[in-house]
Amino acid sequence: MSLIVQKYGGSSVQDAESIKRVARRIVDTKNAGNRVVVVVSAMGDTTDDLLDLAADISEQPPLREMDILLSSGERMSMALLAMAIHELGERRSPSPARRPE
């Protein structure tokens, strides 16, 4: 069993159809007998849009708020991708540390 790390940039998750395509690739990789770790970016131009909006509000926004703001794009992508994977019949499996013995 291999550990496969897949990284999907903003254009890979820019809309619902793209997210469904990514979900299928993830599930196919898992079903091929691999463990899969997925890293996903914010959808399309979300990060740029959030940066522009923050600049319209503040010349020097606090770093903590910027971290929260910019991570919201990735969290959106993660949630939508998890929904798409769930629709394909995949359910969250317990982590190795929590598997029953």
Q: pLDDT, tens digit, for every residue of 16-75?
A: 999 999 999 999 999 999 999 999 999 999 999 999 999 999 999 999 999 999 999 999
Kindly state whether residue 83 falls inside one of the protein's structural domains: yes
**Residue 38 CB partners (closer than 8 Å, separation 6+):** 5, 6, 7, 8, 26, 81
Please tell me the distance from the alpha carbon of residue 101 to that of residue 94, in angstroms, as a whole number. Answer: 12
Q: What is the mean pLDDT of residues 67-86?
A: 96
Looking at residue 1, its pLDDT comes to 83
Kindly state whether residue 99 falls inside one of the protein's structural domains: no
Please tell me the distance from the alpha carbon of residue 91 to that of residue 15, in angstroms, as a whole number. Answer: 22
Q: What domain count does the chain have?
A: 1
Q: Which domain holds residue 31?
A: 3-93
Kindly state whether residue 25 falls inside one of the protein's structural domains: yes
Looking at residue 22, its pLDDT comes to 98
Is pLDDT larger for residue 101 or for residue 17?
Answer: 17
pLDDT(97) > 90: no
Q: What is the mean pLDDT of residues 12-16?
A: 96
Read off the CATH number of the domain in which 32 is found.
Answer: 3.40.1160.10
